[in-house]
Amino acid sequence: MLKRKVLPVLLIVLFAGIFWAFQSQGEDGKSLSTQQKILSTLGAIIEENHYNPKPINDQFSKELFKRYLVAIDPDKNIFLQSDVDALKKYETTLDDEIHGATLQFLPALNQLYAKRMLEVTSYYKEILAKPFTYTQNEELVADANKINFSLNEAERKDRWRKKLKFLSLERYNDLLEQREKNKGKLGTTAKADSKLEAEVKEKVSKVLEKELNAKSEKISTTASFKIKTDLELEAEARDKVGKIMDKSFERLKLKFTDDERFNLFVNTITSYMDPHSDYFPPVEKRSFDEQMSGRFYGIGASLREEEGNIKIATLLTGSPAWKSKQIQVGDIVLKVGQAKDEPVDLTGYAVEDAVKIIRGNKGTEVRLTLKKSDGSLQIVPLIRDEIVQDEVYVRSAVINGKEKIGYIYLPDFYADYEKPNGARCALDVAREVEKLKGEGVKGIIIDLRSNGGGYLSEVVQMVGLFIPEGPVVQVKDREGKPTVLTTNTKSVLWDGPLAVMINEFSASASEIFAAAIQDYGRGVIIGSSSTYGKGTVQRNIPVGKPLDFFTGRTEYGAVKLTLQKFYRVNGGSTQLKGVTPDIVLPDEYEYLKLREKDNDNALPWDEIQKSSYKKWAGNLNIAAIKAASSARVTNSTNFKTINNNAQWLAKQNDKIYHLNLEKYREEQKAIKATVKQNDELAKLTQELPVEALKVDDAKYNNVDKEKGDRYKAWLKNLRTDIYIDETSKVINDMIGSPTGLAKKN
């Protein structure tokens, strides 16, 4: 999301109207009339301010009806088809309710929901009371788009049986794997038990009671270990699932109230407008603000609830989650463990409850069990901490290969405008370029991989370091003609060979920078087949009476709306299509549905009149550079295998799960092996000659050892990066070939 500091006058005026309207009512925020006011107010805000709102009419109502039923019952195992049929009389009236008509749909749905929840609550205890047999060739289809609502109770109950069987299968398999690991420990454990027991007996009269109790507890713990049978482990797995279900239904009963279902309804409306528009009720808004501010001890990841799962929504740059490089947006958080304690299964948990478990004291360990986008399971240990600022900001290094090349890593287009001399990425990148020039580099790489965006003004200024005065990006709102943002640089800071690295997680501001460099012919863009494709900007609009002037918290939360769209200087939007690189490198996430274009609510690509701009005077021979890189990549076993593995992994991500133990284990084994192979293939066996800049080496070694250790660890990772290796070769082609990059006129 690109950040802007000032709301348009229209929104300020609109907010004032909302404030007085709500203030005069004096509602308690829970009544049906209050829900109706919130709904109609938000409907007006959307229609009057969203960049490209879908018409709120009967067709919109039909689609909203369908999407909300899936949102509230993602597994389609609560409602029956007869319930859907009964509710269909509201299918074309939801638009009327958004426009102020009396709410009827939600009250009717709430009654049905309460009735059906009572029925399905009785299923799980009965189903879990009997052992499962994992030899049949059954499958669980977990994609709501591939199944219909159950026609009768028997079909619904069987759907629950399959779900509970799969949950039990996962835990049964975990227990079997644990048993395999512990088999060899039985003899040594028994020997240790008898030795400890003899020691305790010998020292009974000599030791303090506290010491005796501690040793006795240790004996009890070690002696309790035994090899369990398959039947015992299967029963234990079902028992674990039963406890999960107890918690899940208790949470649904206590927390998934009429108000919560209303909030979900409103969010279904906003997300149908586009993927980046959201409604934040007051509690969620506070949580969102805290997570984005980083003013707490945690892992630096925000969460969202989707299809009944807790997913990673965003990663805060510089946080423990971000630094681990093992967590990606979209990962499902299955379990959370405190250090070596038994992990808590998050099945059925609300986001706010999951956040409470993940947060903790600084320096303590939390272990996340994640289900990755490719279907593999991964346990990631993290140490809770505050954000380390030097991890957030730009860094640079020198690659001392055939030619000396500068490498600049920019994780975020950051800016601290609150302080007079606050950090700003454009100025920081300029300093790094000056330092690299001082080192005598012949070319520069700018790494924007996984850079999710930031401040628009910083992008414009940063482009100005590499191209002379001219347009950078066009910004258009729903009302008028585009505004062209230009750089006023008279002379560039760096006019030599330039390469920009991107991937499918490079979004927003990153796409604006890469697009400008590409449109001007200033450098080579290299990476995944396209960037993310987010060419829109959102802003928060507060709703209701202000409750806290300093935090901006309001009575009814806020709505985050898409208000503008960005266009390249060549006239094309970065929305949906993103930026297609000049040189494409195979990537492990290439075929997974992670980009903007994979969301059916995404705003469309379009184009406007191009800006008047002058191409870079250097003669960049893209064809020759691309051909040289293509030859290397084609002959690379690593890149070829990564691409084949990526295609295979994408096919496994179909949300159809085996309920046969052997097939499940074979599939998981194959997925884990493929993911592990990709991780190994992405690392060089012979390290790149990446070194610290002389000034940085002296600073980190002599001033701050902790910061120096982090910097050295960062350099070590760069040395084995196969993508940096290929990009450095591209830069060498640009330097060495007279047809690669002619001197500037």
Q: What is the pLDDT of residues 553-569, one digit of tens each?
A: 677 778 899 999 999 99
The answer to the question of residue 311 being in a domain is yes
Task: Tell me what pLDDT residue 223 has.
Answer: 42
The answer to the question of residue 488 being in a domain is yes
Task: Tell me what pLDDT residue 254 has.
Answer: 73
Q: Read off the pTM.
A: 0.80
Smallest Cα–Cα separation from 390: which of 49, 699, 24? Answer: 699
Of 338, 366, 383, the one marking the end of a domain is 383
Q: Do strands 524-527 and 139-141 pair parallel, antiparallel, or not at all (unpaired)?
A: unpaired
Choose between 436 and 353: higher pLDDT.
436
The answer to the question of residue 645 being in a domain is no
The answer to the question of residue 190 being in a domain is no
The answer to the question of residue 680 being in a domain is no
Q: How far apart are CA 265 and CA 263, in angstroms?
A: 5
Indicate if 523 and 620 belong to the same structural domain.
yes
Note down the domain range covering 365: 295-383
Number of H helices, E strands in the chain: 25, 22
- CATH number of the domain to which 311 belongs: 2.30.42.10
Indicate if 708 and 725 belong to the same structural domain.
yes
Confidence of residue 283 (pLDDT cuts 50, 70, 90): low
Q: What is the pLDDT of residues 497-531, one digit of tens each?
A: 999 999 999 999 999 999 999 999 999 999 999 99
Confidence of residue 7 (pLDDT cuts 50, 70, 90): very low
Q: What is the mean pLDDT of residues 739-745?
A: 40
Q: What is the mean pLDDT of residues 614-634?
A: 90
Task: Tell me what pLDDT residue 717 has.
Answer: 92
Task: Tell me what pLDDT residue 377 has.
Answer: 81
Indicate if 539 and 421 belong to the same structural domain.
yes
Confidence of residue 701 (pLDDT cuts 50, 70, 90): low
Q: How far apart are CA 138 and CA 571, in angstroms?
A: 52
Whether the Cβ atoms of residue 336 and residue 310 lie closer than 8 Å to each other: no
Of 358, 383, 408, the one marking the end of a domain is 383
Indicate if 267 and 347 belong to the same structural domain.
no
Q: What is the pLDDT of residues 110-135, one digit of tens each?
A: 999 999 999 999 999 999 999 999 99
The DSSP call for residue 144 is: G
Indicate if 397 and 362 belong to the same structural domain.
no
Q: Counting beta carbons within 10 angstroms of the beta carbon of residue 283, is it exposed (0 to 12), middle (13 to 18) or buried (19 or more)?
A: exposed
Indicate if 74 and 159 belong to the same structural domain.
yes
Smallest Cα–Cα separation from 573: which of 543, 608, 612, 624? Answer: 608
The answer to the question of residue 663 being in a domain is no
Alpha-carbon 189 to chain mean position: 43
Choose between 219 and 637: higher pLDDT.
637
The answer to the question of residue 183 being in a domain is no
Task: Tell me what pLDDT residue 54 has.
Answer: 96
Please state which of the ranges 295-299, 709-713, 724-728 shows the lowest mean pLDDT: 295-299
Whether the Cβ atoms of residue 557 and residue 544 lie closer than 8 Å to each other: yes
Task: Tell me what pLDDT residue 269 has.
Answer: 96
Indicate if 339 and 425 belong to the same structural domain.
no
Q: What total number of domains does the chain contain?
A: 3
Indicate if 566 and 479 belong to the same structural domain.
yes
Task: Tell me what pLDDT residue 282 has.
Answer: 66
